Amino acid sequence: MAEDEVTRRRIVVHGGVQGVFFRDSTRDEAERTGVAGWVTNRGDGAVEAVFEGEPRSVERMVAFAREGPTQADVRDVQVSDEEPEGLSGFSVR
């Protein structure tokens, strides 16, 4: 994949998003879509993630985060663009 074909987004998801398999669901979806990055629980109750890959796939991940898994109660998603770092794989931190 050429450098100009890679995009990176950092998201912070607020609401009832911890303890509802948000991180595992995000990892599973990222692996299905071929997106690299990571997802973690934050101390303030939010979930933070970085998605890096083909632009359409990254946008699909952002859309997934806006809904979350069935048990999640997503109230707000902050999205910011970042410079790609060449990540590979997706991890739960």
Choose the catalytic residue: 9, 23, 27, 60: 23
66 is catalytic: no
Q: What is the DSSP letter of 18?
A: S
32 is catalytic: no
Phi, psi of 79 (to 5 degrees): -125, 130
Identify which of 5, 3, 63 has the alpha carbon closest to the alpha carbon of residue 29: 63
Choose the catalytic residue: 41, 42, 66, 75: 41
Residues carrying an active site annotation: 23, 41
